[in-house]
Amino acid sequence: MAESAVEMSVSAVEEVAPQGEEVTSSEAPVAPAAPVEPSEFSLNHFTGLSLQERFDFIRSVGEECIQDEELMRLLNFRDPNCYDGFEPSGRMHIAQGVMKALNVNKLTKSGCTFKFWIADWFALLNNKMGGDLKKIQNVGKYMIEVWKAVGMDMERVEFMWSSEEINNRAAEYWPLVMDIARKNKLGRIVRCSQIMGRAESDDLSASQIFYPCMQCADIFFLKADICQLGMDQRKVNMLAREYCDDIKRKNKPIILSHHMLMGLLQGQEKMSKSDPNSAIFMEDSEADVNTKIKKAYCPPGELAGNPCLEYIQYVVLPWYKEFTIKRKEQDGGDKTYTEWEEIAKDFVDGTLHPGDVKPALTKALNSILQPVRDHFKGGDAKKLLDTIKKYKVTK
C-alpha cells in the first residue's frame, strides 16, 4: 500500500511537468541562451515585454542560472511559478528584505507568480526559536509585514505556510518525501547540510537529516518551475534536478541563485541573524545604521571582501539606479554614479575613498529603510516587532 502511494506521488510530479524537449544531462552552467523564435504566447504577452526583455529581467536576478536555455524555452510558452522557502528564524536583515523585494518585483513584472514557502515546520526541525512553533510563526508574520512595508509588489505573490499546506495535502507530500529519501544515499543528503546553515562535519540531529529530503520535495509539491533562492541553497536544488533524472522527468526545475551578501565585519562571508553587528536589519534605527556602517570593513582600493562596496552594488544601485556622494570641491566635489563599473574603477584607483563612501551609503540605506521604520511605529505591527525582539535567536 505504501509503495502504491509513492508511485501515485511520483506520477503527480511527472504530470505537472511542462511539455518540451528533453534537457541536456550536463549540469554545469551553459553559455547565454541563444535567441529563439518568439511564440504566439510571447508576442502577445500581457506585460508588453518581449521574450528577450522578460528573459533579461529574470536572468538579472541570479548570480547563476541552471540552465539559461531552459529558462528561455520556458518563458517562450508560459509564465513560470517561482519559489523561495525561508525559515522564520529572527529579525530580517537587508539582504532578505531589500534584495528579495527587488528580485521578486523583477520576476512578477516579467509575468512570474512568486510563491513564498514559509517554512515554519522546517525552522522547528532546525531548532530555530528553540523549537517553539508559536514563536516561529510570529516571526513569519513579522517578515511578511516587512516585505509589505519595503515595497514588494504583492499582486502576483502568494505566502504559503508549510505546516498548513503539508497537513492539508499530506497524502501527496509525504510519499514524495519518502521517495526522494529512498533514492538517495545518506552522504548525498548530508552534503546538503549547508542549506540549514550547518556544516557537513556538524553532529546533525535526525530531523536535520530529514530536512533536505523535505526541501527537495517542496519544489515539486509547489509545482515550482524556478527555484529562486540564494547560492547557499544550490545543493538541494541540484538534488531536485537529479531526482528528475531518477523519475525520468524531462523538464527540471530551473535554478536561479541570487548573490549572498557578505557580513559587515572583516572576514564575514555572510550575514548572521545571531550577530547583530554583521548586518543592517530592516527596522534598525538611523543611529544603528550610522554606527554599523562606520564600523564596517572598507579597505581603500580593495573591492574583494569589501562589504560597503557590496551594499552599493547589490542594494543601493538596484534600488535607486544611482549612488550620490557629497564632498567638498577640494576633495573632488559631488558626484552621482549610475553604473557599478564606474564606482569600482574610481574606488580602486583612489578617486573614491572610504571616507566618501560611508556617509553616502549610510544616507541611502536610511532612506530605503524609513518606510519600514514608519510601518512598525504603532498598532499591531509595533506589538509584533516588540514581541519578536524579545525572542532569543537559536542556531
Q: Which amino acid is residue 173, in one-letter code?
A: Y
Element (H, E) at 381: helix 379-389
CA distances to 80, 84, 116, 167, 203 from 14, rounded to whole Å, are 17, 21, 23, 22, 35
pLDDT the model gives residue 205: 77
Q: Which amino acid is residue 11, in one-letter code?
A: S
Residue 196 pLDDT level (bands cut at 50, 70, 90): low
Give me the residue label for grid cell 562596496: 309
Give me the residue label for grid cell 529558462: 71
Q: Is 332 or 294 the better-scoring residue by pLDDT?
A: 294
pLDDT digits (tens, 9 = 90+) for 372-388: 999 999 999 999 999 99
pLDDT the model gives residue 325: 96
Mean pLDDT, rounded, for 349-377: 97
Q: Is 25 or 318 the better-scoring residue by pLDDT?
A: 318
Give me the residue label for grid cell 536589519: 281
Residue 301 grid coordinates: 582600493
SS3 annotation, 113-155: EEEEEECHHHHHHCCHHHHCHHHHHHHHHHHHHHHHHHCCCCC
pLDDT digits (tens, 9 = 90+) for 250-269: 999 999 999 999 999 998 88
Question: Taking all residues of the chain, what is their mean pLDDT, rounded to a whole number?
Answer: 89
Mean pLDDT, rounded, for 338-344: 97
pLDDT digits (tens, 9 = 90+) for 102-124: 999 999 999 999 999 999 999 99
Mean pLDDT, rounded, for 202-227: 89
Q: State how far the Cα of 88 lies from the Cα of 137, in Å rounded to an integer.
A: 7
Q: State how far the Cα of 18 lies from the Cα of 378, in Å rounded to an integer.
A: 46
pLDDT the model gives residue 127: 87
Q: How many CB atoms lie within 10 A of CB 279?
A: 27
pLDDT digits (tens, 9 = 90+) for 130-189: 999 999 999 999 999 999 999 999 999 999 999 999 999 999 999 999 999 999 988 888
pLDDT the model gives residue 272: 73
pLDDT the model gives residue 197: 66
Please give the share of the chain, as a percent, with pLDDT higher than 90.
75
Give the range among 199-213, 253-267, 304-318 with minimum mean pLDDT.
199-213
pLDDT digits (tens, 9 = 90+) for 58-74: 999 999 999 999 999 99
pLDDT the model gives residue 211: 86
Residue 244 has pLDDT above 80, yes or no: yes
Q: How many CB atoms lie within 10 A of CB 23?
A: 19
Residue 21 has pLDDT above 50, yes or no: no
Residue 29 has pLDDT above 70, yes or no: no
Mean pLDDT, rounded, for 39-67: 96
Residue 17 has pLDDT above 50, yes or no: no
Q: State how far the Cα of 393 lies from the Cα of 91, in Å rounded to an integer.
A: 9
Residue 12 has pLDDT above 60, yes or no: no
Residue 275 grid coordinates: 550577530
